[in-house]
Amino acid sequence: MSHVLHIDASARPGIAGVDHHGSHSRHLSHRFVSQWQLRRPQDVITYRDIGQRPPSIVNHDWIASTFTSEEQREPWMRDALVESDQLVDELIASDIVVIGTPLYNFGMPASLKAWVDQVIRPGRTVDIDKTQPDDPYIAKLTDRERHAVVLTARGGVDMAPGEAMAHMNHLEPNLASAFEFMGITRLHYIAIEGQEIGGEVLAASTAQALRNVEMLVSELQVTFRDAPTPELA
């Protein structure tokens, strides 16, 4: 049994094609998760709608608390990390992180950045070895294979790596750095483009992205089906 963490970051609450002014990134993420559940109903799905309920922004109390060792934390410090601990627990428990997110002004929505800031945690998702000044960071989410699926909606076109407008897309590179920093290196990207253009451009991109989602679900389910089952101690 695998565990899927499903995160939606769009400010639009509805789903494109179903709701007026619905979200294209939610369309992709919900298609991925529904297809996954259809074929693997035994798996656990944890859902976070951070587009509608954003995580807290990191503040002074959070910083002071997270950089204090657990055994030395005062009660107010533990309180300051309750939300972060829950988000980190969900990430650690997951085998696949599915993120539906739009590209806003060249990068990720503020709600998704807040989530990233909450889950990159010294001692939990990354360690710091001060005896290795050239590369002091140690990823902690390497205990088993985890995948991140980033499902994106963009207003423009030709924004994938290597394409003409790729220099204006800082969403996928930013997320890749964050996930790899924590030890999640198996990354998958699918995008809908042309939302600002609309018409046939958007329709064709949406149709292709939905096909890609279904192919990725099939590929990943083969990976998980063939993965060895850990032996009980």
Instruction: Find the mean pLDDT for residues 118-143.
Output: 93
Is the pLDDT assigned to residue 229 strictly greater than 70? no
Domain residue limits, the chain? 3-226
Share of the chain above pLDDT 70, in %: 97
User: Any idea what DSSP says for residue 232?
Assistant: P
By the 8 A CB rule, do 25 and 18 touch? no
Whether 29 has a binding-site annotation, put simply, is no
Q: Which fold has domain 3-226?
A: Rossmann fold (3.40.50)
Cα 124 to chain centroid, rounded = 17
Share of the chain above pLDDT 90, in %: 88
Instruction: Find the mean pLDDT for residues 147-161.
Output: 95
Residues 6+ apart with CB under 8 A from 91: 5, 97, 119, 125, 141, 182
d(CA 149, CA 189): 6
Collapsed DSSP state (helix, strand, coil) of residue 118 = helix
d(CA 71, CA 215): 47
Q: Which of 89-98, 104-113, 129-138, 167-176 has the least mean pLDDT?
A: 129-138
- Give me the chain's average pLDDT, please: 94
Note the pLDDT tens digit of each residue in 20-48. Answer: 889 999 999 999 999 999 999 999 999 99
Cα angle value 185/219/211 (rounded, 5°): 110
By the 8 A CB rule, do 151 and 98 touch? yes
Whether 24 has a binding-site annotation, put simply, is yes
Q: Which of 12-21, 43-52, 73-82 has the least mean pLDDT?
A: 12-21
Is the pLDDT assigned to residue 233 strictly greater than 80? no
pLDDT bracket for residue 227 (50, 70, 90) = low
Whether 21 has a binding-site annotation, put simply, is no
Whether 10 has a binding-site annotation, put simply, is yes
pLDDT bracket for residue 232 (50, 70, 90) = very low
